[in-house]
Amino acid sequence: MGLIQREIEEAGIPTIGISIVREYTEKVRPPRSVFLRWPFGHPLGEPGNAAQQRAVLLEVFKALYAIRSPGEIVDLPFRWRRENYADDREPRSIGPVGPDAASPAEKDGR
């Protein structure tokens, strides 16, 4: 995925990958990634757990704006099957997101 991400980024479109195998992500070094220590095949969470998947996606989108260095990997704070996602409406770990936040392209100097 990292090779494809680089090509898309060359076209000016910011990308982010979701990793559950950190060693591979460290070797490939995609432009931006988040890491979850979750079972293989479940990058967004448990099947049917929409609240969990929403929480993960919110954190991924925040990381898209927060990551400043190419190849950086952000460890997301979620624990497999040990979290209550019912009340998650806002992302929890990474800085501000929205029209006032700097875009990844602005952070990369483009």
Residues 32-85: tens digit of each pLDDT: 999 999 999 999 999 988 888 999 999 999 999 999 888 999 999 888 877 777
pLDDT at 20 over 90: yes
Residue carrying the six token digits 């925040």: 62
Q: Has residue 103 been placed in a domain? A: no
Please tell me the distance from the alpha carbon of residue 52 to that of residue 85, in angstroms, as a whole number.
Answer: 5
Sign, CA torsion 60/62/67/70: positive
Please tell me the distance from the alpha carbon of residue 44 to that of residue 57, in angstroms, as a whole number.
Answer: 7
Q: Has residue 110 been placed in a domain? A: no
Whole-prediction pTM value?
Answer: 0.73
Q: Has residue 47 been placed in a domain? A: yes
Q: How many residues does the chain have?
A: 110
Give the domain range for residue 69.
2-94
**pLDDT score, position 37:** 92
Q: Has residue 52 been placed in a domain? A: yes
Q: Has residue 106 been placed in a domain? A: no
Please tell me the distance from the alpha carbon of residue 110 to that of residue 77, in angstroms, as a whole number.
Answer: 30
Q: Has residue 104 been placed in a domain? A: no
Q: How many structural domains compose the chain?
A: 1
**pLDDT score, position 106:** 54
